[in-house]
A and B are shown apart, each in its own frame.
Chain A
């Protein structure tokens, strides 16, 4: 018994505090990035630490940060600042896991009009501000010009609508004598990072913004019938075998770089991957991903953003916000996004930024993000489940187990129920939470 007690006492004193950096307030900051993306933020953090002598930001990379942050915040040991994906803001906010930033932002004159509109929306939820952006992104059609030329297509003219995309697809697809796919023009599943959001280019939305889930709207059905046409045309097993030979996304074996897929839907970061992994003579172009309806004339893209939040229960809220607003001032923001080769979420951006930016198409990506048609993930607390259900639906469509209509109807039924449950929770907690959020 004595041994047990001794053991408990000796080792309970083992947690060591971070050494106080010259008497400053130390802020713990968790990020998800690795490699050069992490280095870019590290440089901004270093600048901040050098710019004043009251606050020290302790920056560290954490994998699977959404789960980790939930566990730490729920466990009462959150970091002071965390860099998460913008689409997690609603679920964290509504579950009482974030500090509302409205008053701090107002005091520091951080205002809506300073930002690209869609990105500000990503930081807000239920009329409160919960996050400030760090590095945003928009997506686009990226095509391989060399393959276009080889297939007799105009390498400077990307498809303008889905019908043209499929015409190009026909010409770009190569098969072995035994029918096996060798290369393809376009494949929604490669890499399939926006599988829940194909409706965007067909005018569909996943939620009406009020109380109704709209997974099986006409537009969404049309979008996923287009997805469904792939296994129908190429054969589910053939596509599966074809895809399994692809290497990791971040490798020279990436199917887009090896020429096995000629057109992909990708984000602004694709430049980095092309720079690091594509062959030296890789020629690529960027255009808005073609919409089903050619007459709108507007750019349709999905905007997303990495954001900085202050978890509920953070020890140094004021100091944490001082860091957030430092990152959100023009110079550091441009430095960070230049380092990560993305673009500034601020409405205004300096000419030097564009001049220094290595991505030749960076202005296009900014324009797509600013387009009034820019879409973003629905601001739902149930997004994680919804997204999983959509992925599962695409999987079923892809393997031919379900038609697009059936798969979307299943998602609709389930997600409406999940959403209603969460709404009931919100109605129960709303009086208390809104009171708390509006406190001075």
Chain B
């Protein structure tokens, strides 16, 4: 590498380091605030390292939130159900859109892609009425049952992956007398574990994150998800102290970050694939 190339690399590295610090700062600030005594959150100029680390802010915030563990359990339950629903139904539909040739398939797939353009707020009121008529308002069902009906985005992702597998493997199985369902379950699915993991991760994130859904479908405080519980903590009568709010916020972020570090590779590859040219 020539000298100007090295200089450029050094310059880029410094720029990136600076930006990286800027991107990390809010997260560190959140954690730092969550460990401060109350009066230090109000003191100027702000300090990064609390004078004494207040671990007890965490149990205090959990207690102040009311039913923190119940919210966490609800979030996990909903994530589990939605992940099951999404993976099962999207894999089926994606298979039908990729590894079986049938007339009109690609036209129907275009319709599927078009549904991605329907924003939830547009259909929120009728969906609320629909679940109301089913007697589902105030239960978890409106939040996970729809995931059993294959969301467009996940079908799209899995279809991309299914299409990348060679046709021969299906043919070989067919010659052996396997039905489509058998091919799907025994041949194709085992080959797509990574893609299924990606879809599962995305759905987990989506459900963990979801705010508007729980906001309109859940009615009882004990059924709240963590996201909704955090918002309700923040908007409670009289306001909430910042150090507690940051502690609660950290607790909501933490599981996602942990999950990310365990699945980093699939995560990044999965996200990279969403922009894949089509």
Contact = CB atoms under 8 A, between A and B. Distances in A.
Contacts of B137: 71-72, 74-77
A248 interface: yes
A72 B216 CA distance: 9
B158 to A, nearest CB: 16
A253 B240 CA distance: 13
A34 interface: yes
B135 A63 contact: no
Most chain B CB inside 10 Å of its own CB: which residue of A32, A63, A248: A63
Interface stretch (B1-9, B11-19, B83-91, B269-277): B83-91
B202 to A, nearest CB: 19
Interface in B228-248: 232-233, 235-241
Interface string B88-120: 110010000000000000000000000000000
Contacts of B132: 74-76
B149 to A, nearest CB: 9
Interface string B62-98: 0000100000000000000100110011001000000
B131 A75 contact: yes
Contacts of A106: none
Nearest to B139: A15
Interface stretch (A6-14, A41-49, A295-303, A364-372): A6-14
A429 interface: no
B161 interface: no
Contacts of B139: 15
A8 B145 contact: yes
Main SS class of interface, A? loop
Nearest to A3: B88
B148 interface: yes
Contacts of B233: 63
B128 A7 contact: no
A248 B140 contact: no
B221 interface: yes
B50 interface: no
A7 B84 contact: yes
Contacts of A1: 92
A46 B145 CA distance: 38
B138 interface: yes
Given A62-B220, A68-B219, A75 B236 contact: no
B241 to A, nearest CB: 7
Nearest to A76: B132
Interface in B213-229: 216-217, 219-222
B221 A71 contact: no
B212 interface: no
Given A32-B237, A34-B236, A7 B81 contact: yes
A33 B221 CA distance: 13
Size category, A interface: 20 to 34
Given A12-B141, A251-B241, A63 B221 contact: yes
A134 to B, nearest CB: 15
Main SS class of interface, B? helix
B221 A247 contact: no
A68 B219 CA distance: 6
B10 interface: no
B221 A62 contact: yes
Size category, B interface: 35 or more
Interface string B26-41: 0000000000001000
A4 interface: yes
B257 interface: no
A74 B144 CA distance: 21
A32 B66 CA distance: 13
A64 B38 CA distance: 26
Contacts of B88: 3-4, 7
A68 B214 CA distance: 11
A60 to B, nearest CB: 6
B80 to A, nearest CB: 10
Contacts of A64: 232, 235
Interface in A65-113: 68, 71-72, 74-77
B191 interface: no
Contacts of B232: 63-64
Given A7-B81, A7-B88, A63-B235, A77 B138 contact: yes
B42 interface: yes
A11 B241 contact: no
B135 A76 contact: yes
A72 B219 CA distance: 6
Nearest to B39: A252
A416 interface: no
A347 interface: no
B238 A248 contact: yes
A250 interface: yes
B123 to A, nearest CB: 16
Nearest to A72: B219
Most chain B CB inside 10 Å of its own CB: which residue of A33, A64, A75, A77: A75
Contacts of B241: 248, 251
Contacts of A63: 221, 232-233, 235-236
A282 interface: no
Interface string B194-214: 000000000000000000000
Interface in A28-54: 32-34
Contacts of A74: 128, 132, 137
Nearest to B80: A11
A208 to B, nearest CB: 33
A61 interface: yes
9 contacts: A7-B148, A14-B140, A61-B221, A68-B219, A71-B128, A72-B137, A74-B132, A247-B42, A248-B240
Interface of A: 1, 3-4, 7-8, 11-12, 14-15, 32-34, 60-64, 68, 71-72, 74-77, 247-251, 253
Q: Which 4 A-B pairs have the closest CB atoms?
A: A75-B137, A250-B238, A63-B232, A248-B239
Given A4-B89, A8-B148, A64-B232, 11 more contacts: A4-B148, A7-B148, A8-B145, A15-B139, A15-B140, A34-B237, A63-B236, A77-B137, A77-B219, A249-B239, A253-B42
